[in-house]
Amino acid sequence: MEGTTRQRIDKWLFFARVVKSRSLAAKLAVAGRVRINRDKTSQASDLVKPGDMLTITLDRRILVYKVISGGVRRGPAEEARKLFEDLSPPAAAKEEAPVSFMPPLREAGSGRPTKRERRETDRLRRPDDE
């Protein structure tokens, strides 16, 4: 960072391309979904400096970043990658369905009754009023 050693967490998250907008970064920080050196953030104005460890909870994944430097602008992805070192644990492998996944077949008549079958069942249950 030019001239400063600290930067607001919402600006840093935006510049590092963790979120799409600065307002989303501020909401993430205020919600307590960002930790700076294991301390929950309570404001978007909390400051980060090089060497800080960030733990970010996004959707169903946890990101662990070590801040290398602050950003000057939201530039291309190559520039954003220079702002942090990714220490995130590897994503858990999902059980993938086979490519030729077909729903199981069932025998005809083993599911819900048709309208015709329902009428026949109703006729059997009620006494002859007719």
Kindly state whether residue 114 falls inside one of the protein's structural domains: no
- Provide the residue type at 112 as one letter: R
Give the model's pLDDT for residue 110.
78
Q: Is residue 23 part of a domain?
A: yes
Return the structure tokens found at 51.
Answer: 């060497």
For residue 12, being part of any structural domain is answered with: yes
pLDDT at 3: 41
Domain for residue 15, yes or no?
Answer: yes
Residue 95 lies in a domain: no
Residue 125 lies in a domain: no
For residue 27, the SS3 value is helix
- Number of structural domains (the chain) is 1
Domain presence at residue 113: no
pLDDT tens across the length of the chain (130 residues): 454 589 999 999 999 999 999 999 999 999 999 999 999 999 999 999 999 999 999 988 899 999 999 999 999 999 999 999 999 988 766 666 565 666 667 777 678 888 998 898 888 888 766 5
Q: Give me the residue label for tokens 């199981």.
A: 104
Domain of 28, in residue numbers: 7-86
Q: What is the pLDDT of residue 1?
A: 46
Q: E strand or H helix at 80, and its extent?
A: helix 77-81
pLDDT of residue 20: 95
Residues 6+ apart with CB under 8 A from 85: 65, 66, 68
Q: Give the CATH number, domain containing residue 12.
A: 3.10.290.10
Q: Is 121 among the domain residues? A: no
